[in-house]
Structure 1
């Protein structure tokens, strides 16, 4: 028997999806389309940030901690 997966978006996400659908159907100019896409992307990021509860400072710390360090011949790669 096949299992079913259901998903109910938050009110913010449902509103974003509705605006996204309307914007995709419209034939705006390229610069207007770019502005719209950036606004939608920022809104999606805002919704996701609010959902997770992380602050931008905390996300910056996580990003800094998970990036690989720079290596050069002058920096030893061996501990001690």
Structure 2
């Protein structure tokens, strides 16, 4: 995690101004990073949501058991993703 991501993750609790002062980055640099990383952040959030859906789909019919009758969860997860 970089310093800017740390500020983004904790800004609700401590505020951007205070976090930037403590960490030693300028607020303008933080906001520049935040705007420039918006597309990547949106894509990452969408990918995370899709992966979470696939994981739920694999676990749902098997009561959340990670190993399904000798088949590895990873194999099941990615074969589900291919369909």
Q: If the TM-score is normalised by the length of the shorter chain, which range does it land in?
A: under 0.3
Query: Which of structures 1 and 2 has the bigger CA Rg?
Result: 1
Q: Which has the higher contact order (CA 8 A, sep 6+)?
A: 1
* TM-score, scaled relative to structure 2: 0.27
**Which structure's residues are more often helix, by fraction?**
2
